[in-house]
Amino acid sequence: MAVHFAKPLSGSGSSLRTLFRPRVCRYLPSVAMFRLQGSKVLAVDMTGDSVKAKNGSMVAYEGQMAFKKMTGGGEGLRGMVTRRLTGEQMTVMEVRGQGTCYFADRASEINLVRLTGDTLHVEAGNLLCTDGGLRTGTTFTGLRGASQGTGLFTTTVEGTGQVAMMSDGPAVVLRVTPQYPLSVDPGAYIAHQGNLRQDLQSGVTFRTFLGEGGGEAFQIRFEGDGLVYVQPSERTTAGGDL
């Protein structure tokens, strides 16, 4: 992965450009280059190609850029209707141009994922920026979504290219293998990729009904082979209070 962790975000660095330019390897000249500037700002080098990003997440750019809102997430009419119905709406803009564009959103930490033909499942709200060549869609998640407080559906990203996801605090990547299944708090889950089966586990006992629950009434259990991204913070979920 051509990701350079440049320097702590708060430091001053007037020589950033000179520091970066020579080191960025350009194997694929027409593909946008994602890199992190610190941990909260995503810099994308573009040479006439395009990326899809969350609406309004641009903080600065150099060069020539054009911003265009993609109606209904840029998946055509059918995609738009699906998104409306599933509640996985995202407002996405297409950024096209030449130069470097910087993205950030509410000071959340940014994680870069490189996809090589596989599928990433991520909540629409956690998606910051994707390569223009990646396809997005929606899938049904079943009961898990309801327990997560994010709805019954989730967004999928597939194809080959880079994805930038946001998390509240730096995310950890946990590997799941057939021998080692993983259980995750629904509020801390942000994304997963690979060949994973998921089901909802409930730890609801009679104590929960007495108001003496441990606060961990539900977990998502992942089995199979793949990666799960977990953030060090919990969204408010239906199961969180139990």
Partner 1 sequence: MPFREVNSKMVEAAVSPGQKLFSQRGAMLAYRGDVSFTPNIQGGQGGVMSMIGRRVAGEATPLMTVEGSGTVMFGHGGHHIQVIQLSGDTLCVEADRLLAFDGTLTQGTLFLGAQGGVMGMVRGQVTGQGLFTTTLKGHGAVAVMAHGGVIELPITPGRPVHVDPQAYVAHHGDVRNKLSTALGWRDMVGRGSGEAFQLELSGSGAVYVQASEEKL
Asked if 74 touches partner 1 (CB under 8 A), the answer is no
Cβ proximity to partner 1: between 87 and 99 the closer is 99
CA distances from 5 to 20, 115, 128 (A): 10, 19, 18
Size of the site for partner 1 (CB under 8 A): 37
CA 172 to chain centre: 13
For the CB of residue 108, give the shortest distance to partner 1 in the complex, in Å. Answer: 8
Task: Return d(Cα 115, Cα 50) in angstroms, integer.
Answer: 17
Closest CA to 74 of 51, 97, 48: 51
Site string for partner 1, 144-183 (x = CB under 8 A): ----------------------------------------
In this structure, the strands spanning 33-37 and 41-54 are antiparallel
Residues 6+ apart with CB under 8 A from 2: 24, 25, 33, 35
Longest dimension (CA), the chain: 63
Site string for partner 1, 24-43 (x = CB under 8 A): -------------xxxxx--
Asked if 20 touches partner 1 (CB under 8 A), the answer is no
Report the residue from 30, 55, 183, 205 that binds partner 1 according to the rule CB under 8 A.
55
* 153, containing H or E segment: strand 153-167
Instruction: Please list the residues that pair with 193 across neighbouring strands.
Output: 120, 227
Site string for partner 1, 85-104 (x = CB under 8 A): ------x-xx-------x-x
Report the residue from 23, 26, 68, 197 that binds partner 1 according to the rule CB under 8 A.
68
For the CB of residue 32, give the shortest distance to partner 1 in the complex, in Å. Answer: 17
For the CB of residue 76, give the shortest distance to partner 1 in the complex, in Å. Answer: 16
Part in contact with partner 1 (CB under 8 A); list of ranges 6-14, 76-84, 172-180, 182-190 = 6-14
* 209, containing H or E segment: helix 206-209
Binding site for partner 1 (CB under 8 A): 8-14, 16-17, 37-41, 55-63, 65-69, 71, 91, 93-94, 102, 104-107
